[in-house]
Amino acid sequence: MSKLITRIGTSLLLTLPLTMAGSVQAAEKLNVVSWSGYFSPEILAKFQKQTGIEVTVDSYDSNETLLAKLKQGGAGYDVAIPSHQFVPILIKEQLLERYDPVKEPYYAGVVDNLKKPTWDPEGAYSVPFIWGTTSVVLNTERYKGPTDSYKVLYEPPAELQGRINMFDSVSDVVDMASLYLNIPLCSEDPKQMQQVMSLLKAQKPFVKTYSSKAGSIRENLASGEIDMSTFWGGSSMRAREMKPSLKYLYPKEGVLAWVDNMVIPKGSKNPANAKAFIAFLSQPENAAMTQNFLKHQSPIKGVEPFLDAGLKDAPELHIPAGTQVVFSKTCGEGAIRLADRLWTNLMR
């Protein structure tokens, strides 16, 4: 974890201006679209009590679905939370409002190496909301063999065959397969993508479901409907709280890393309310509420005093020394076409 984000002391605690509620638009509405299950009722209630703004939340289960929603007009959304590699795509497609969060006081509370990141180098369109890793979680009661490689996922032993979930997202699935095969992310080499295709085709008979819905994956892991899944670290921790035999893996090939960011879709009807919501979520105490709920890592300084005790030594949130951590990339058009073709063929 220290390789990605420097732990910073608790001396810097930002607070929302007392006049914030008075500065928002009279509409007092906010329409948010996010990954499924990203907001606890408590944090939404706290925001409404503090500002008078009522929040409505819609959801999606992949970045591709969000992109399609916004291309179709955005359905009146005021805030969205895409993963980092999709931010440049949304900017290029002119689907985001520029609101220059870098100029706002709360931006100083973002951890240093996520300020003006490569996907938003001017800090003009996005603020990090949560970050974490993507790997595999499995039930150690069902399987007691080696867990040091993604081989257990792609060439599963008999006891795991037919009991696997894979994400329903072309970018996530292709990135992890590429990591296992030691192929560069976003490859535009048809031969390399054919290797990925062959791997996923051979695995498919052993896959029970393709889903990126975190709540459903957790429930299915806890109930024993599935015993292994691609999953996010914090979501794996939430699943382990329901079923202690679940283990989050750090394979020798490495883990993928991601940052989900708060953006304002083009045409937002409540931009002032959107900015107020983003400022609210960027305060340490509120960012800690998000981390306590989602169990992923926070990109905001000063959250430590507000975190639940269980987060401080959770293996899902502490990357072992020497683990290769690979951030997903924004792919070029050639790589996207190859990946989309692969996915279409795989899903037949």
The DSSP call for residue 96 is B
Q: Token pair of 241, please?
A: 């709280």
Identity of the amino acid at 331:
C
Q: Give me the domains of the chain, ranges plus CATH numbers.
A: 20-131+259-317 (3.40.190.10), 132-257+320-346 (3.40.190.10)
Q: Is the pLDDT of residue 151 over 90?
A: yes
Instruction: Provide the pLDDT for residue 74.
Output: 67
Mean pLDDT of 77-100: 96
How far is CA 48 from each of CA 132, 185, 314, rounded to the nearest angstrom? 28, 41, 31
Q: What is the mean pLDDT of the chain?
A: 91
pLDDT by residue (tens digit) across 101-130? Answer: 999 999 999 999 999 999 999 999 999 999
CA 263 to chain centre: 14
Question: Can you tell me the distance from the alpha carbon of 31 to that of 322, in angstroms, rounded to the nearest whole number?
Answer: 42
Question: Can you tell me the distance from the alpha carbon of 62 to that of 10, in angstroms, rounded to the nearest whole number?
Answer: 34
How far is CA 119 from each of CA 282, 305, 310, rounded to the nearest angstrom? 19, 30, 32
Question: Can you tell me the distance from the alpha carbon of 158 to that of 206, in angstroms, rounded to the nearest whole number?
Answer: 9
Q: Token pair of 73, please?
A: 């007009």
What residues does 164 pair with on adjacent strands? 207, 228
Mean pLDDT of 173-182: 98
Which is it for the CA torsion 160, 221, 250, 174, positive or negative?
Answer: positive
pTM score of the predicted model:
0.83
More confident residue, 9 or 339: 339
Residue linked to tokens 């969205």:
80
Instruction: Provide the pLDDT for residue 313.
Output: 87
What residues does 136 pair with on adjacent strands? 230
pLDDT by residue (tens digit) across 297-311? Answer: 999 999 999 999 999
Residue linked to tokens 């409404």:
48
Q: Token pair of 71, please?
A: 């291309």
Mean pLDDT of 90-97: 96
Percent of the chain with pLDDT over 90: 86
Q: Token pair of 5, please?
A: 């984000």
pLDDT by residue (tens digit) across 29-78? Answer: 999 999 988 999 999 999 999 999 999 999 998 898 999 999 988 679 99
Q: Token pair of 217, please?
A: 């994956």
Q: Is the pLDDT of residue 180 over 90?
A: yes
Question: Can you tell me the distance from the alpha carbon of 93 to that of 279, in angstroms, rounded to the nearest whole number?
Answer: 25
pLDDT confidence bin for 225, thresholds 50/70/90: very high
SS3 73: coil
